[in-house]
Structure 1
Amino acid sequence: MQFFSSFPWLRRFASGFAFVAVALILMAPLAACGGGSSSGNTNTSTGPVTLTYWAWIPNMDKQVALFNQSHPNIHVNWVNVGAGPLEYNKLFTAIKANNAPDVSEIEFQLLPTFETTGGLLDIAPYGAASVKNQFPSWMWTQVTNGSSIYAVPQDSGPMAMFYRADIFKKYNLPVPTTWAQYADDAAKLHAANPNEYITDFPPKNPGQFSGYAWQAGAHWFGVNGQSWKVSINDAPTLQVASYWQDLLNKKLVKTETDFTNGWYHDLQTGSLATWLTGAWGAGIIEQNAPQSS
């Protein structure tokens, strides 16, 4: 797949960093995509510490190996239990059973949900604010709640369009640079080959839709005096919803769950001509749909 960046919003994506109460050690070298930690382990230790870290981003095993090599008193066990929702379901269960990993990768938009479980450790008392200036202010606010700090950012990326250059060339379609062109290409592609679609509209990924709305100028949440202002049905959001509903009604996009075997297969075989996501999507494609390059 080729990379084409034309969507200038930043997705609220980050994942897993936290403090380990067992040793009160801030794992700053591991902190890079936001994340949460279990507060279930509270025993102290004077010997080497072993930590369990759940994450799915590519090449994390190499980063963990380097960390372990340079920190002889800490050993991190990296475990990939699945990406996104697959991990979250297991993490909710683990928190409920008081058996959560010490560190976990969590997307920005899911962090407040995990905060409500009471399973995350506030790392502010342990000096987490010392790395605040290493991140943009908008990113740091994603991992804080009042004076509490529940994560350290790890990754974010501008939204972009990954596309199959061979498919656009095969059907003599221009690479779209506007949403109107995108819809026009969607119709022409599916008319030329009913088994191919411009993209997938995953029904269980609200983060993607929020990105579309954000780019259109939506502001879902704000503060008005001492009250919250919620505007999830503002004009830009309704415009975005209408656009995608039109593509759905015409059956010009697929509606399968993303990050599943079937979805990876569609990327690999060309059933999906584009993928609108963060720039980090390149790593996902490389690992799961290498023949699409």
Structure 2
Amino acid sequence: MAVRDRESLARRCVIGGTVLALTALTACGAGDGGDKADGAAGASCKPSSGKVTLDYWSWVPGMQKAVDLWNSENPDIQVKLKTTPSGNAGTYQNLSNALKAGKAPDLGQVEYDSLASFRLKEGLTDISSCPGVEEAGDKFVDWTWSQAEFGADGKDGVWAVPQDTGPMALFYRKDVYDKLGLKAPTTWDEYAEQARTLKKDGKYITHFSQTDPNWFTGLLWQNKATMFERDGDAWKVTVDRPESRQVADYWQKLIDDKLVATDLQGFSPALYKAWNSGEVVTWVSAAWGYSTIRDNAKSTAGKWAVAPMPQWQEGGQQAGNWGGSTTTVMSGTKHPAEAAKFALWLNTDAEALEILNREGGLYPAAKAGLDLPALKEPVDFYGKQKIFDVFAQASTGVDTNFTWGPTMTDTYRFLSDGTANTVAGKTTLGDVLKDTGAQSADSLRKQSLDVTE
């Protein structure tokens, strides 16, 4: 197969797939006897000789403790961790730059929604032939392994090892709610009414960040507002659709009425200060968010609780999903076998899973991780509530038909830029959806992908 043909095939094969789908992603045959679509380890993944040092980029809190455990047990394969910003806050751009410069780490943390983007850049290594990988699929929740395969029955390779998922719920200051005679809201209408009550008490119900497009996507997801659809061999961009508009109009109203804090960015010292002071009293977030509040609002220990996401219709049980990551072996690594070995261990070993849950708040993708004692126990910081019961229920209400596009990093950038203009009063979230949809379609076309109206 000619290089140009393989490059064209690679672009056609990066179809993104259906997130949380319980079946494998759509296959795209490589042709010519099964050549891989992307440059990768592919057919050969032989262990290196001698001692190996692997560079690994991750933003999971407490990851160093898991790495230290590995290093203590594997003197010939040492891992050097670099703690980085969350994906769209800097890591993805830095990874892209490093790939272009030929200086990428051996391993990187990449969320499910961005896997296709990195594969399109030929930034991932196919580890399907590395020792232990072929047998690992059954160890993970089905949909997460499908995300890693990018093809039916794994015939198109394995491009990542699943790490965690991000079912969403509502974190709220129970002490503040109790004082004002409020209960956890069951609908978004009730949430808006509570925002008005809290504003009179000098508090914001939440912050609206312009730097967390993944968060806003999670809100769209709850309302079954998928952003992309497959139309045969082409893509249909559906960012601007009625279900999305409902979400956008709702939050636009809260912004216009100054009921949410718009000067606080996610994962910022200013936000943490607002949590500690009680200026901001709820956060719609994923399971991993429990450690974010715990570690950055320590003065509020025992005052928070977790409830299901408010619903668009009374009695609904829908939830969004925010994040969830994989451990990828980046292209250019000289040690794919050792990198794959570490990635598998990190996301299946009982001690490692316990560390990542305890320190980083990860809700594991490994089936064994779902039986961690910590996921069944009361959590002191949350008033001894068994908060993971809420997230376990939320995970059953996540729409399994939500579809990622193959250039999500671009889509997120468009959405983030537009949100910044909304907060500045220059546009509305409804217009942002329209513009993001058009820009995303152009982005697909620039990658030689077919787009249908």
The TM-score normalised by the length of structure 2 is: 0.52
Query: Structure 1 residues 170 and 81 mapped into 2: Cα distance closer, same or farther (>3 Å)?
Result: same
Structure 1 segment 113-124 matched on structure 2, within 5 A: 113-124=117-128
Quote the residue 1:140 is aligned against. Answer: 145
Measure the CA separation in 2 of the matches of 1:229 and 1:253: 33
Structure 1 segment 158-169 matched on structure 2, within 5 A: 158-169=167-178
Instruction: Please say if residues 159 and 279 of structure 1, whose CA atoms lie closer than 8 Å, have aligned partners that are also in contact.
Output: yes
Q: Does 1:57 align with 2:70?
A: no
Instruction: Please say if residues 83 and 259 of structure 1, whose CA atoms lie closer than 8 Å, have aligned partners that are also in contact.
Output: no
Measure the CA separation in 2 of the matches of 1:211 and 1:281: 13
Q: Does 1:292 align with 2:295?
A: no
AA at the equivalent of 1:254:
A
Q: Does 1:110 align with 2:118?
A: no
Instruction: Please say if residues 198 and 253 of structure 1, whose CA atoms lie closer than 8 Å, have aligned partners that are also in contact.
Output: yes
Quote the residue 2:384 is aligned against. Answer: none
Q: Which moved more, 1:120-129 or 1:175-184?
A: 120-129
Alpha-carbon deviation of 1:74?
A: 0.7
SS of residue matched to 2:103: coil
The answer to which structure, 1 or 2, has the higher relative contact order (CA under 8 A, 6+ apart) is 2
Alpha-carbon deviation of 1:51?
A: 0.8
Number of matched residues?
254
Quote the residue 2:400 is aligned against. Answer: none
Q: Which moved more, 1:250-259 or 1:223-232?
A: 223-232
Quote the residue 2:37 is aligned against. Answer: none
Quote the residue 2:243 is aligned against. Answer: 236
Measure the CA separation in 2 of the matches of 1:87 and 1:148: 24
Instruction: Please say if residues 46 and 130 of structure 2, whose CA atoms lie closer than 8 Å, have aligned partners that are also in contact.
Output: no
Alpha-carbon deviation of 1:243?
A: 0.9
Measure the CA separation in 1 of the matches of 2:100 and 2:271: 30
AA at the equivalent of 2:82:
V
Query: Structure 1 residues 96 and 43 mapped into 2: Cα distance closer, same or farther (>3 Å)?
Result: farther
1:217 to 191, 211, 224: 224
Q: Percent identical across equivalent pairs? A: 39
The TM-score normalised by the length of structure 1 is: 0.79
Measure the CA separation in 1 of the matches of 2:272 and 2:114: 23
Query: Structure 1 residues 150 and 234 mapped into 2: Cα distance closer, same or farther (>3 Å)?
Result: same
Alpha-carbon deviation of 1:279?
A: 0.8
> Structure 1 unaligned runs (5+)?
1-10, 13-37
Question: Over residues 127-156 of structure 1, what are the superposed CA-to-partner deviations in whole Å (9 max), with x where a residue is unaligned?
Answer: 534212222232223233331322111011
Measure the CA separation in 1 of the matches of 2:272 and 2:118: 28
Measure the CA separation in 2 of the matches of 1:224 and 1:203: 31
SS of residue matched to 2:70: helix
Quote the residue 1:21 is aligned against. Answer: none
RMSD between superposed Cα atoms in Å: 2.4
Alpha-carbon deviation of 1:177?
A: 1.8
Query: Structure 1 residues 43 and 134 mapped into 2: Cα distance closer, same or farther (>3 Å)?
Result: closer
Query: Structure 1 residues 86 and 228 mapped into 2: Cα distance closer, same or farther (>3 Å)?
Result: closer
Quote the residue 2:255 is aligned against. Answer: 248
Measure the CA separation in 2 of the matches of 1:90 and 1:267: 30
Q: Which moved more, 1:182-191 or 1:263-272?
A: 263-272
Alpha-carbon deviation of 1:273?
A: 0.6
Quote the residue 2:283 is aligned against. Answer: 275
Q: Which moved more, 1:53-62 or 1:43-52?
A: 43-52
Query: Structure 1 residues 272 and 104 mapped into 2: Cα distance closer, same or farther (>3 Å)?
Result: same
Structure 1 segment 187-198 matched on structure 2, within 5 A: 187-193=196-202, 196-198=203-205
Structure 1 segment 177-188 matched on structure 2, within 5 A: 177-188=186-197
SS of residue matched to 1:125: coil
Q: Which moved more, 1:56-65 or 1:85-94?
A: 85-94
Question: Over residues 178-207 of structure 1, what are the superposed CA-to-partner deviations in whole Å (9 max), with x where a residue is unaligned?
Answer: 1111111111101221xx211112112221
Quote the residue 2:180 is aligned against. Answer: 171
Measure the CA separation in 2 of the matches of 1:134 and 1:234: 37
Alpha-carbon deviation of 1:213?
A: 1.4
Quote the residue 1:96 is aligned against. Answer: 100
SS of residue matched to 2:236: strand
AA at the equivalent of 1:187:
R
Measure the CA separation in 2 of the matches of 1:111 and 1:267: 32
Measure the CA separation in 2 of the matches of 1:134 and 1:203: 37
Measure the CA separation in 1 of the matches of 2:63 and 2:134: 24
Q: Which moved more, 1:141-150 or 1:243-252?
A: 141-150
Query: Structure 1 residues 257 and 114 mapped into 2: Cα distance closer, same or farther (>3 Å)?
Result: farther
SS of residue matched to 1:149: coil
